[in-house]
Structure formats: structure tokens, C-alpha cells
């Protein structure tokens, strides 16, 4: 049929699916370029995506074989969205947080994204038991129930939806006031797409990510067992796994960052934040609150007002960060793997404990290079190196260099 008509424009929606190392790669998308080449006359080709990093944009152009394309990218910043994250321990704490938040925002439209169908049903039941007007949504529901739940949410008959990622496609409710991710999505692309369903009317909305280290253990296990299985070439499968690990590590840096959350998101997608502090995310507002408390404390003769807790931010010595990064690289270069933070802290302080010497860390260049640094200072420096993307967590939270081939530096 397509050979017999003149196609003037061919539009590829969700174009990021053509990038084989990307979040949502679909092998069928790779056939689009061949389809275009077989047409009697080449049409104008337009590719659209809402969440593409600079690398993904390059992959789209290459895999669709676009000719001299005009690339137009709108900014990723959504100023009306307040981003926050909260570390939780176990399912009970997650459930309690969601229930408490929903009860403190009665009548507001909210979405809770869950990792499994069972979790959507379990959480919806817990919310209803707590008096919240909630329903669940996932792909295994029959179409009649799906329609009823979707329409009920759009018409404000249902306040809260607990859902898998199946909810949201084609559902455009502009006044969603909050989105909570019950666990960590596998990538920043997935997270920003889900969080971005809040506040589409331009009014203030809140996006909160609940996370634990176990979330990332699950990610690594899934990547090891299933990512890249649709690819025939072994090198392609390996690269797909590496790309998936890189996306998971970006989410881990976001969760553990000692920096503006909005800035983390914008930099990931290739945008440049206007300032180091947005003033409208959990990190920036808590940092400002701590500064305000310190200011008020200074006005009380050095004594803090009653019922106030002051949390000071720790200044990290750049040379200490350099020494830690170099030591971790040297360990990886010599032994092919990393170690947990506690062992690195002891080793770089020069500990002679069997825990350090038994695995040869005392024989690696950089051992004992920070003998006067406190454990808290070293941990703060490690946290910044993780946030900066210099180090990453590997298997079992072992510290590893992002680029193992980088030449180690000492100071």
C-alpha cells in the first residue's frame, strides 16, 4: 500500500525506542529506517520524544538515518514542580508515608507509582482502610474496570490512584497535585516521565521519591538476568547491560546527592541549571532552613532556641576527594573490584587491622594517604564523589571508579 501512495510526512513518536542502548528500546523500531528507504520517494521524517538525553538524541538520528536533521529541544525544567526524596526502610515505612501524605492532602488528586501489580492492590487497600478515596490500576485489569477507574480519576470521583507505569499513557489530568514513587524507577527518564504527570496545569505540585538500597540491588539483579536478551550479538548485550547500569547509577546519585535535586535532573538531560540552588526542592529548602536556624542561633548569644535541631553541612577538602578517588581507582586497577565505604575509610586512614591488610589494601598506592581525616570527613567526601559521578556503587555497594581506565592521580 505504501508503495502506491505519496507519503509527505512520516512521524515517529516515542523515538527514543529506536536507541538500542536506551531505556525503552524496541527492536521493531530499528526497521523504520529500512521502511523509509524502500519508499518510492523519501518523505520528511520527524522524530518526537519527551525524555531524551544528548546520547539518545544522537542515537535517534543515527538509527533512523535522518538526513541533515533540524534538532529542536525544549527545556526540561518544570519550575512549578517541587522535587523531594525520602529514604525508607521496608514496605511498612513506605506504606505509612503514603497514607500520611494522602491524609494530609485530602481531596487532592495524587498518583502513587508502584513496581508491581500486587503492590498497587495492597497499597490501595491500605489507603482505603485509612479513609482515603483510592483505587488501583494496572495492565492486568479488565478493560471495563480500567475505564471506570480512569474516568473516576479524571472526573474527581477518585482522589488517589496506585498504579504501575501502565497508568498515565493517554490519561491527561492537568490538576494532579502530587506524585509519589513507592520505589525507585530504573532510570531518570522513567522517573521524570512519571513525576511529570503532576502539575500540568502549571500550578504547584510535589514529586516525592521513596528509596532504599534494596531498590538498587533489585535493579542490578534484573539487569544481570534480563537486560539485552532481545539482542543477538554478545557485544550488543554487554553494552545494553552497561547502559542500564549507568541509568541505575544516575538514579542512585540522585537519591544520595548532596546537591540541588532539580540541578541533578537538568544536567542528566543535558540542560544547564540557572543556579546551584533552585530554592524549590527538598535539598535546597532544607539547606536554607538549616541556614536560617544558624542565623537565628547567632542572634541568641550562641544558644539555639528551644526545640530546634541544627544540622551543619560539612565542608569537604578537595584534596581529600582527589586522594580517595585515586585510591579507589588504584584498587580497581590492581584487584579488578572495589570495596565498601567502611573498608575504604579504614584503609585510607592507614589502619593495620586484618580487615584491611587481609585483602591487600595496605599494598595499594594511596593506602594511609589521609591519616588525619576523620571517618565523617571521608564519608562526606565519598558521598560527594558519588554525587559528582566520579565514583559509583557496584555490586554489594562496593565503591568503583566511573571510568576505570582513567589515570590515577595522587596528591
Helices (H), 155-211: 188-195
**Which residues, 6 or more positions from 384, have their beta carbon under 8 angstroms from its beta carbon?**
258, 316, 321
Q: What is residue 408's predicted lDDT score, i.e. its pLDDT?
A: 43
Mean of the pLDDT values across residues 357-373?
A: 93
Q: What percent of the chain has pLDDT over 70?
A: 89
Dist CA 206 CA 80 (whole Å): 9
- Assess whether pLDDT exceeds 50 at residue 302: no
Stronger pLDDT, 395 or 43, i.e. the higher one: 43
Contact call for residues 141 and 129 (beta carbons, < 8 A) = no
Stronger pLDDT, 5 or 358, i.e. the higher one: 358
Whole-angstrom CA distances from 342 to 20, 100, 338, 349, 398 are 37, 35, 12, 11, 10
Dihedral sign for Cα atoms in the order 84, 86, 92, 97 = negative
- Assess whether pLDDT exceeds 90 at residue 185: yes
- Assess whether pLDDT exceeds 60 at residue 13: yes
Q: What is residue 407's predicted lDDT score, i.e. its pLDDT?
A: 47
Contact call for residues 135 and 149 (beta carbons, < 8 A) = yes
Q: What is residue 383's predicted lDDT score, i.e. its pLDDT?
A: 85
Assigned fold of 81-218+251-268? Rossmann fold (3.40.50)
Q: What is residue 327's predicted lDDT score, i.e. its pLDDT?
A: 95
Q: What is residue 23's predicted lDDT score, i.e. its pLDDT?
A: 61
Structure-block grid coordinates of residue 304: 539555639
**Per-residue H/E/C for 60-90:** HHHHCCCCCCCCCCCCCCCCCEEEEEEECCH
Of the candidate ranges 54-63, 118-127, 163-172, the one whose mean pLDDT is the lowest: 163-172
Whole-angstrom CA distances from 257 to 138, 304, 380 are 32, 28, 11
Q: What is residue 292's predicted lDDT score, i.e. its pLDDT?
A: 62
Q: How confident is the model at residue 355 (pLDDT cuts 50, 70, 90)?
A: confident
DSSP symbols for 257-291? -SS-HHHHHHHHTT---SSS--SSBHHHHHHHHHH
For 176, list phi and psi in degrees, rounded to 5. -70, 120
Mean of the pLDDT values across residues 367-390?
A: 87
On whether the 318-401 domain is CATH 1.10.3720.10, my answer is no
Of the candidate ranges 139-148, 269-278, 328-337, 362-371, the one whose mean pLDDT is the lowest: 269-278
Cα three-residue angle 270-398-374, rounded to 5 degrees: 95
Q: How confident is the model at residue 303 (pLDDT cuts 50, 70, 90)?
A: very low
Stronger pLDDT, 300 or 210, i.e. the higher one: 210
The DSSP output letter for 369 is S
Q: How confident is the model at residue 311 (pLDDT cuts 50, 70, 90)?
A: very low
pLDDT tens for 203-238 read 999 999 999 988 998 898 888 888 877 777 888 888
Q: What is residue 101's predicted lDDT score, i.e. its pLDDT?
A: 95
Helices (H), 278-395: 282-298, 318-335, 341-348, 354-357, 375-388
**Which residues, 6 or more positions from 170, have their beta carbon under 8 angstroms from its beta carbon?**
none
Q: What percent of the chain has pLDDT over 90?
A: 50
Mean of the pLDDT values across residues 339-344?
A: 91
Cβ atoms within 10 Å of 221's Cβ, excluding its own: 11
Q: What is residue 406's predicted lDDT score, i.e. its pLDDT?
A: 52
Of the candidate ranges 96-105, 260-269, 303-312, 371-380, the one whose mean pLDDT is the lowest: 303-312
SS3 of residue 23 by DSSP? coil
- Assess whether pLDDT exceeds 70 at residue 107: yes
Whole-angstrom CA distances from 331 to 115, 249, 341 are 36, 20, 13
pLDDT tens for 51-100 read 788 888 898 999 999 999 988 877 889 999 999 999 998 899 999 999 99
Which of 275, 274, 277 shows the shortest CA–CA distance to 258?
277
The segment(s) of the chain belonging to CATH 1.10.10.10 are: 318-401
Whole-angstrom CA distances from 302 to 288, 291, 293, 295, 299 are 19, 14, 11, 10, 7
The segment(s) of the chain belonging to CATH 3.40.50.300 are: 81-218+251-268
Mean of the pLDDT values across residues 159-184?
A: 88
Mean pLDDT rounded to a whole number for the chain:
86
Q: What is residue 409's predicted lDDT score, i.e. its pLDDT?
A: 43
- Assess whether pLDDT exceeds 60 at residue 299: no
Q: What is residue 169's predicted lDDT score, i.e. its pLDDT?
A: 63
Q: What is residue 149's predicted lDDT score, i.e. its pLDDT?
A: 93
Q: What is residue 20's predicted lDDT score, i.e. its pLDDT?
A: 65
Q: What is residue 370's predicted lDDT score, i.e. its pLDDT?
A: 93
Amino acid at each position: 500500500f505504501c508503495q502506491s501512495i505519496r507519503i509527505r510526512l512520516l512521524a515517529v513518536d516515542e523515538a527514543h525506542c529506536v536507541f538500542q542502548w536506551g531505556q525503552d528500546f524496541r527492536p521493531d523500531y530499528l526497521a523504520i529506517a529500512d521502511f523509509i528507504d524502500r519508499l518510492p520517494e523519501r518523505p520528511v521524517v520527524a522524530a518526537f520524544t519527551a525524555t531524551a538525553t544528548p546520547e539518545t538524541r544522537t542515537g535517534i538520528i543515527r538509527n533512523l538515518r535522518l538526513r541533515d536533521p533540524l534538532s529542536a529541544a525544549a527545556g526540561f525544567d518544570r519550575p512549578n514542580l517541587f522535587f523531594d526524596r525520602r529514604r525508607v526502610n521496608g514496605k511498612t515505612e513506605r506504606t505509612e508515608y503514603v497514607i500520611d501524605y494522602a491524609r494530609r492532602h485530602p481531596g487532592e488528586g495524587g498518583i502513587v507509582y508502584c513496581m508491581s501489580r500486587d503492590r498497587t492492590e495492597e497499597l490501595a487497600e491500605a489507603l482505603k482502610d485509612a479513609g482515603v478515596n483510592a483505587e488501583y490500576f494496572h495492565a492486568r485489569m479488565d478493560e471495563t474496570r480500567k475505564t471506570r477507574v480512569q474516568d473516576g480519576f479524571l472526573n474527581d470521583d477518585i482522589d488517589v490512584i496506585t498504579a504501575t507505569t501502565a497508568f498515565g499513557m493517554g490519561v491527561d489530568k492537568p490538576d494532579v497535585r502530587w506524585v509519589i514513587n513507592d520505589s525507585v524507577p530504573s532510570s531518570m527518564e522513567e522517573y521524570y516521565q512519571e513525576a511529570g504527570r503532576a502539575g500540568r496545569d502549571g500550578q504547584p505540585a510535589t514529586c516525592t521519591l521513596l528509596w532504599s538500597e534494596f531498590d538498587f540491588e533489585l535493579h542490578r539483579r534484573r539487569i544481570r538476568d534480563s537486560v539485552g536478551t532481545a539482542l543477538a550479538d554478545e557485544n550488543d548485550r554487554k553494552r545494553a547491560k552497561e547502559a542500564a547500569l549507568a541509568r541505575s547509577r544516575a538514579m542512585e546519585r540522585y537519591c544520595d546527592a548532596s546537591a540541588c535535586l532539580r540541578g541533578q535532573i537538568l544536567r542528566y538531560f543535558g540542560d544547564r541549571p540557572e543556579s546551584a540552588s533552585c530554592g524549590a526542592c527538598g535539598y535546597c529548602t532544607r539547606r536554607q532552613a538549616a541556614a536560617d536556624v544558624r542565623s537565628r542561633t547567632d542572634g541568641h548569644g550562641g544558644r539555639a532556641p528551644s526545640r530546634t535541631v541544627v544540622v551543619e553541612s560539612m565542608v569537604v577538602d578537595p584534596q581529600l576527594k582527589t586522594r580517595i578517588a585515586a585510591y579507589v581507582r588504584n584498587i580497581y586497577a590492581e584487584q579488578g573490584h572495589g570495596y565498601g565505604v567502611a573498608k575504604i575509610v579504614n584503609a585510607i586512614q592507614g589502619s593495620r587491622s586484618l580487615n584491611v591488610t587481609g585483602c591487600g589494601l595496605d599494598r595499594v598506592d594511596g593506602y594511609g594517604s589521609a591519616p588525619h581525616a576523620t571517618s565523617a570527613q571521608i564519608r562526606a567526601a565519598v558521598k560527594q564523589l558519588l554525587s559528582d559521578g566520579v565514583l559509583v556503587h557496584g555490586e554489594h555497594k562496593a565503591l568503583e571508579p566511573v571510568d576505570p581506565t582513567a589515570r590515577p592521580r595522587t596528591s
